[in-house]
Amino acid sequence: MTVLLSIALLAALAYGLRCWLSPFGACRRCHGLGYRLRTSRSGRPRRGKPCRRCRASGLRLRVGRRLTNYARGIHRDGTR
């Protein structure tokens, strides 16, 4: 039980560190390209329309970073 708890705590700390060092991750819909890949009639990959989810940047804010920003905003508003 203690081993599982320590592994979970270590994983949470590693994810928190990753969110702090790299707050943006690759978009899951376009795989970080900024657009969806289409195939031509001959089967070759072509550039499609810009990705609406990431607004053609290829990056999305991580969930952990979004939660951190929300908590910091609540703290900032409460201490004013």
pTM: predicted TM-score of the whole model, two decimal places: 0.73
pLDDT-derived band of residue 69, with 50, 70 and 90 as boundaries? very high
φ, ψ dihedrals at 20, nearest 5°: -75, -40
**In the block, which residue shows the tokens 């970080």?**
32
**Strand 24-26 vs strand 59-61: parallel, antiparallel, or unpaired?**
antiparallel
Residues 24-56: tens digit of each pLDDT: 999 999 999 999 889 989 999 999 999 999 999
Helix (H) or strand (E) holding 59: strand 59-61
